[in-house]
């Protein structure tokens, strides 16, 4: 039977067909749907959201050492978090097959950097497979598990956004029971990387690498397609598809295994074609390694861009030696630019409005709230990696001393806090900082599409479970001053943030406001607010909240004067189809021109 599957759905299907027993992940675009699909469709696999990628990998390591097939999935930067166990897992090897799927993000559609994770395979001395469509995504995941068992190694499978999120036809097969025995067996010299054992295992890794290199020479996923021999293209993954689309007539060496590389096969290809061109997105990974073998491709990164995602047009222009210029827009009337924005009613908006008002510098983190860096809120000032906000605030407190009090805060989302914020908060208390940490608890992992985490009270499959109490956790970590605020109540937010940032002690402010898109919390929304056009003077106080439900239009003639004779250049509007009635605009309008139609339970005070 055939089905149309996205790359991520195909990875999930591959895990199911290969008899995977345990799958763990931390969400991150473009990888998230792999675990979501397993959770929804393949109940024979135990699937979980781990609090971060390091834990996810450690969970599957445990499963593999107990003999089960296991898969961890993550976005490219997640592998940085999991890199510590990964590098030593290379020495330990596996029992049940273990595959780590890394989904890279050329073009940074939804990431903080554009790193090329092929380097990790070389760094960890483990094999990496790279599919170029959904069928290969499924096949390579299964094959990865087999290779893992055959060579006693973790295997990485690399995807990119374009593979993970586009669809293709996939041949569906029935799941097979894998040839593994699930049981605990003591293997101290293999499992316990004390220096004396690890020294021996390093030798094993090097021997394994030579065997893998040999295997790569005959691996059917590395295939030559000999056509017109004037040009031979060495490529892999999605770049193969782009190149085939532009140059179907040329010869190809399509690598399904991008590490280790098949040196003899590459030599053979160089003999068969006149000019070799290496086509790959991001870093010159293949090219560099091929050059290091002593081969001389005619073209590679000298002509193709090193940044961003490829497409057929970029390839065509680059091959002709022309610099790529984006095509002219098809429509002459272009759409107005619409930067990403916090949703109408988003609980984060009230906090960032307050930070702007208090002129506080905010060491930031990663989540929906990072969007507060954009105008008009302009109130998030750093973003490096998940969990980094708190350490930065602590460092600032130490650098600035007393002069920094009341000048800055750290802001971090609930999922991000559990991912990487707990340890730095412990440090804040331990090393006697006065930093204030604002924990934006919207009760979900909003940015990646609302996944559960250890403080939501639900597992990946929706079962009820223990729910972390952030105030309790903060107390245990040693933070004495812990306050909660309602982010939709601006007066309260301002008072609490001001008081806490001025204290000479660490503090944790928990902003408690569920994500506005969570139907579990909001069974129905409040009635939308309405602008009283007789009163609005067009001051834009409400517009400066950056709420997508609020717009502004210029007025002329009779309309340019309010009922009580005040001049105005324009008026605000509230789109009733977008407004969930959060009442922030109601609070910032000094003229009472924004009318409430129903009391808001979100606010905690009466409005009508």
The answer to whether residues 200 and 31 touch, using CB atoms and an 8 Å cutoff, is no
The span from the CA of 217 to the CA of 154, in Å, is 20
Q: In the set 8, 444, 562, 587, which binds ligand TPP (CB under 6 A)?
A: 444
Least distance CB 164 / ligand TPP (angstroms): 14
Label residue 234 exposed, middle or buried (CB < 10 Å: 0-12, 13-18, 19+).
buried
Binds ligand TPP by CB under 6 A, chosen from 66, 81, 266, 409:
81
- Least distance between ligand TPP and beta carbon 436 (Å): 18
Label residue 252 exposed, middle or buried (CB < 10 Å: 0-12, 13-18, 19+). Answer: buried
From candidates 447, 477, 516, 542, binder to ligand TPP by CB under 6 A: 447
Torsional sign, CA 106, 107, 109, 110: positive
Within residues 304-343, the interface with ligand TPP by CB under 6 A covers none
Task: Give the shortest CB-583-to-ligand TPP separation in angstroms.
Answer: 20
How far is the CA of 29 from the CAs of 84, 323, 411, in angstroms? 22, 30, 21
Distance of closest approach, residue 73 Cβ to ligand TPP, in angstroms:
11
Residue nearer to ligand TPP on the CB measure, 371 or 594: 371
Binding residue (CB under 6 A) for ligand TPP from 363, 415, 486, 526: 415
Kindly state the greatest CA–CA separation across the chain: 87
Residue whose C-alpha is closest to residue 69's, from 102, 44, 34: 44
Question: Does the protein bind ligand TPP through residue 445 (CB under 6 A)?
Answer: yes
Question: Can you list the pairs that 289-294 forms with residues at least 24 positions away whose Cβ atoms lie under 8 Å?
Answer: 289/122, 289/261, 290/234, 290/261, 290/266, 293/261, 293/263, 293/266, 293/267
Residue ranges in 11-30 that form contacts with ligand TPP under rule CB under 6 A: 26-28
Beta strands at 570-574 and 550-554: parallel, antiparallel or unpaired: antiparallel
Q: Which of 374, 393, 350, 373 is nearest to 513 (CA)?
A: 350
* Integer Cα distance of 583 and 489 in angstroms: 9
> Which of 37, 448 has the CB closer to ligand TPP?
448
- ω into residue 376 within 30 of 0, thus cis? yes
Q: Measured between alpha carbons, how far is 583 from 575 in angstroms, rounded to an integer?
A: 14
When the beta carbons of 379 and 562 are compared against ligand TPP, the nearer one is 379
Per-residue binder mask for ligand TPP (CB under 6 A), 352-381, x = binder:
--------------xxxx------------
Please give the structure tokens belonging to residue 556. Answer: 């002329």
Among 14, 344, 413, 454, binds ligand TPP (CB under 6 A): 413
User: Which range touches ligand TPP (CB under 6 A), out of 73-81, 154-162, 211-219, 523-531?
Assistant: 73-81
Residue whose CB is less far from ligand TPP, 27 or 96: 27
Q: Which of 13, 21, 75, 138 binds ligand TPP (CB under 6 A)?
A: 75
Residues 78, 364, 424, 487: which binds ligand TPP (CB under 6 A)? Answer: 78
Residue number, 73 or 318, with CB nearest to ligand TPP: 73
- Binding to ligand TPP, residues 91-130 (CB under 6 A): 112
For 372-468, where are the E strands, in sequence order? 408-413, 436-441
- Contact flag: residue 489 with ligand TPP (CB under 6 A): no
Residue 382, CB-side half-sphere exposure with 13 Å CA sphere: 20
Task: Give me the least distance between CB of 463 and ligand TPP, in Å please.
Answer: 20
The phi, psi pair for 315, rounded to 5°, reads: -65, -45
Query: Could you identify the residue written with the tokens 């979100």?
Result: 602
Q: Does 65 bind ligand TPP (CB under 6 A)?
A: no
What minimum distance in Å lies between the beta carbon of 445 and ligand TPP?
4
Using CB positions, name the residue nearest to ligand TPP. 413
Q: Which of 8, 117, 448, 526 binds ligand TPP (CB under 6 A)?
A: 448
Binding mask 137-176 for ligand TPP (x = CB under 6 A): ----------------------------------------
Query: In 3-state terms, what secondary structure has residue 591?
Result: coil
What residues make contact with ligand TPP under the rule CB under 6 A? 26-28, 53, 75, 77-78, 81, 112, 366-369, 386, 413-416, 440, 442, 444-448
């Amino acid at each position: 039977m055939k089905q149309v599957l996205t790359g991520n759905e195909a990875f999930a299907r591959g895990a199911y067909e290969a008899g995977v027993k345990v799958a763990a992940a931390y969400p991150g675009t473009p990888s998230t749907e792999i675990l979501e699909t397993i959770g929804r469709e393949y109940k024979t696999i135990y699937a979980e959201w781990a609090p971060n990628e390091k834990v996810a990998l450690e969970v599957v390591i445990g499963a593999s050492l107990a003999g089960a097939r296991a898969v961890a999935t993550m976005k490219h930067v997640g592998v940085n978090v999991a890199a510590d166990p990964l590098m030593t897992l290379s020495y330990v090897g596996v029992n049940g097959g273990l595959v780590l799927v890394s989904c890279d993000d050329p073009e940074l559609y939804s990431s903080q950097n554009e790193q090329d994770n092929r380097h990790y395979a070389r760094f960890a001395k483990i094999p990496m497979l790279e599919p170029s469509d959904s069928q290969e995504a499924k096949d390579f995941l299964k094959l990865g598990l087999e290779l893992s068992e055959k060579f006693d190694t973790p295997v990485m499978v690399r995807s990119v956004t374009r593979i993970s999120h586009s669809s293709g036809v996939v041949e569906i097969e029935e799941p097979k029971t894998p040839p593994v025995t699930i049981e605990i067996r003591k293997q101290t010299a293999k499992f316990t990387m004390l220096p004396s054992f690890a020294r021996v295992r390093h030798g094993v890794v090097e021997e394994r690498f030579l065997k893998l290199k040999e295997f790569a020479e005959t691996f059917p996923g590395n295939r030559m397609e000999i056509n017109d021999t004037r040009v031979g293209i060495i490529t892999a993954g999605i770049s193969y598809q782009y190149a085939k689309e532009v140059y179907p007539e040329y010869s190809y060496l399509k690598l399904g295994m991008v590490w280790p590389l098949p040196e003899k096969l590459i030599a053979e290809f160089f003999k068969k074609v006149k000019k070799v061109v290496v086509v790959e997105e991001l870093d010159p990974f293949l090219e560099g390694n091929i050059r290091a073998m002593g081969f001389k491709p005619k073209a590679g990164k000298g002509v193709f861009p090193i940044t961003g995602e490829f497409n057929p047009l970029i390839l065509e222009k680059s091959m002709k030696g022309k610099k790529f210029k984006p095509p002219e827009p098809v429509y002459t009337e272009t759409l107005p630019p619409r930067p990403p924005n916090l949703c109408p009613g988003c609980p984060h908006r009230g906090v960032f409005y307050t930070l702007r008002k208090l002129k506080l510098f905010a060491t930031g983190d990663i989540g929906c709230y990072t969007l507060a860096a954009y105008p008009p809120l302009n109130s998030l000032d750093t973003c490096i990696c998940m969990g980094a906000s708190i350490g930065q605030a602590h460092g600032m407190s130490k650098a600035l001393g007393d002069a920094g009090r009341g000048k800055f805060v750290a802001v971090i989302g609930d999922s991000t806090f559990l991912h990487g914020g707990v340890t730095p908060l412990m440090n804040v208390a331990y090393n006697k900082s006065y930093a204030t940490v604002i924990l934006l608890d919207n009760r979900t992992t909003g940015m990646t599409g609302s996944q559960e985490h250890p403080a939501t009270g639900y597992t990946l499959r929706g079962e009820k479970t223990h729910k972390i109490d952030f105030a309790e956790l903060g107390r245990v970590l040693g933070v004495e001053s812990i306050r909660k605020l309602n982010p939709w109540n601006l007066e309260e937010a301002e008072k609490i943030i001001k008081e806490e940032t001025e204290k000479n002690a660490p503090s944790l402010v928990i902003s408690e406001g569920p994500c506005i898109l969570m139907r579990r919390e909001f069974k129905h929304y409040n009635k939308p607010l309405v602008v009283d056009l007789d009163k609005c003077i067009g001051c834009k106080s409400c517009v400066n909240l950056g709420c997508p439900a609020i717009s502004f239009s210029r007025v002329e003639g009779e309309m340019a004067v309010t009922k009580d004779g005040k001049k105005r250049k324009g008026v605000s509007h509230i789109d009733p189809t977008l407004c969930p009635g959060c009442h922030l605009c109601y609070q910032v309008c000094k003229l009472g021109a924004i009318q409430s139609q129903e009391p808001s339970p979100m606010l905690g005070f009466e409005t009508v």
